[in-house]
Amino acid sequence: MTPSLEVTGLTFAYPDGHTALRAVDLRIEPGERVALLGPNGAGKTTLVLHLNGVLTAGAGGVVVGGLPVAREHLREIRRRVGIVFQDPDDQLFMPSVAEDVAFGPANFGVTGQALAARVDAALAAVDMAAHRDRSPLHLSGGQRRRVALATVLACEPEILVLDEPSSHLDPVARRELADLLLTLDRTMLMVTHDLPYALQLCPRSVVLDHGEVVADGPTAELLADADLLRRHRLELPWGFDVALAVRQSGVT
What is the 8-class DSSP label of residue 38?
-
Q: Of 98, 126, 157, which residue is a domain's last?
A: 157
The residue count for the chain: 252
Confirm whether 74 is domain-assigned.
Answer: no
Q: Which of 49, 34, 123 is nearest to 81 (CA)?
A: 49
Q: Are residues 99 and 148 in the same domain?
A: yes
Sheet strand arrangement including 59-64: 19-28, 5-13, 59-64, 67-68
Domain end marker among 104, 135, 157: 157
Does 173 lie in the same domain as 110?
A: no
Q: What is the count of structural domains for the chain?
A: 2
Cα dihedral 226/228/230/232 (nearest 10): -150
pLDDT in tens, 116-150: 999 999 999 999 999 999 999 999 988 999 999 99
Encode pLDDT of 154-194 as tens digits: 999 999 999 999 988 889 989 999 999 999 989 999 999 99
Residue 249 belongs to a domain with what CATH number?
3.40.50.300
User: Rounded CA gap, 205 and 242, in Å?
Assistant: 14
Looking at the structure, tell me whether residues 122 and 186 fall in a common domain: no
Cβ atoms of 151 and 128 within 8 Å: the answer is no
pLDDT at 250: 62
In a domain, 92, yes or no: yes
Q: Is residue 197 part of a domain?
A: yes
Q: Measured between alpha carbons, how far is 76 from 94 in angstroms, rounded to an integer?
A: 23
Structural domain that includes position 147: 85-157
39 and 53 belong to one structural domain: yes
Q: Is residue 127 part of a domain?
A: yes
Q: What is the pLDDT of residues 43-96, one digit of tens each?
A: 999 999 999 999 998 899 999 999 999 999 999 999 999 999 888 888 899 999
Sign of CA dihedral 125, 130, 134, 139: negative
pLDDT tens column, 155-164 = 999 999 999 9
Query: Within 10 A of 163 (CB to CB), how many other CB atoms are there?
Result: 19
Q: Do the domain assignments include residue 30?
A: yes
Task: Reduce the DSSP state of residue 84 to 3 states and report it.
Answer: strand
Residues 177 and 245 both lie in one domain: yes
| Cα–Cα distance list, 244 to 212, 216, 219, 250 (Å) | 30, 22, 14, 10
Phi/psi zone of residue 34: left (φ > 0), alpha (ψ -120 to 50 degrees), beta? beta
Computed over its alpha carbons, how large is the radius of gyration of the chain?
A: 18
